[in-house]
Amino acid sequence: MDNSNRSISEANRQKLRDGETLITIAYLENDIINASGAVFVAARPETIWAILTDYNNLSEKIPKVVESRLVEDNGDEKIIAQTGRSGIFFIEKSVAIVLSVKEFFPRSLSFEILEGEFSVYRGEWHFEPSEDGSATFLSWQALLKPRFFAPPFLVSFVQHQDLPTILRAIRELAEADEKNSISPTD
C-alpha cells in the first residue's frame, strides 16, 4: 500500500499546524476498520524516521507498544515482531503480531501483517515535509480486523482513544530529538 500521492488538504494542514491531532475512523465491509490519524511535528522527516525505525526500542518510546524486535533485515524490507497492549475501561488485551515493513526513505513505511491476532492489519506511516523542510506532516493509516471477537465499534473506539496518544508521543519525542541535534554555533 503506497499512498505517497496522497496529500493532506490545506484546511487540514492548518488544523495540524494549530496543534490539532486529526483522527478519522471508517467502517468498511466485513467488519474492517479504516483508521487514520495525522499530526504536525516540528522536526524533519529523517528525525521521525529514526524513531519509527528503531524497531528494537519502540517499546521504550511509543505508548501501547509492550515489545518490539527486528526479526529479519532484508535491506528495505524488515520483519518485525511486536506486542501491543490496549483496551477500554478496565479491560486490557495484549496482541502479538509479526509485520512485514517496507521502507521508502524518507517518505513512507508500509506495513502488513504476516501472522498474529489480526486477520487484516496493513497500512502506512507517511512523512510529508513542510514547505521549508524543517517540519513534517506525519500521518498513519491502516485497515484493521482482529481475529478475536471485538465488535467494530469497540475496535474503532480503541483506535480513537489510542491513536492520538501515540501520535502526540511521537511528536514530543521527535521535537525533543530535533532540538537536541541542533547545536549552538556560538
Q: Report domain extents, the chain.
A: 16-181
Closest CA to 38 of 65, 83, 84, 6: 6
Average pLDDT over residues 53-66: 96
Closest CA to 112 of 126, 102, 122, 124: 122
Burial tier of 123 (Cβ tally within 10 Å: 0-12, 13-18, 19+): buried
Residue 4: pLDDT band with limits 50, 70, 90 = very low
What percentage of the chain reaches a pLDDT higher than 70? Answer: 92
pLDDT digits (tens, 9 = 90+) for 103-157: 999 999 999 999 999 999 999 999 999 999 999 999 999 999 988 877 777 777 8
**Beta bridge pairs of residue 74:** 77
Q: Side chain identity at 8, as an amino acid letter?
A: I
**pTM for the whole structure:** 0.89
pLDDT digits (tens, 9 = 90+) for 163-185: 999 999 999 999 999 988 865 54
Q: Side chain identity at 172, as an amino acid letter?
A: E
Q: At what angle do helices 152-181 and 45-52 cross, to 10 degrees?
A: 120
pLDDT digits (tens, 9 = 90+) for 61-110: 999 999 999 999 999 999 999 999 887 666 778 999 999 999 999 999 99
Q: Are 77 and 103 in contact (CB under 8 A)?
A: yes
183 CA to centre of own chain: 29
Architecture of domain 16-181 in this structure:
2-Layer Sandwich (3.30)
Beta-sheet pairing, 22-27 with 91-104: unpaired
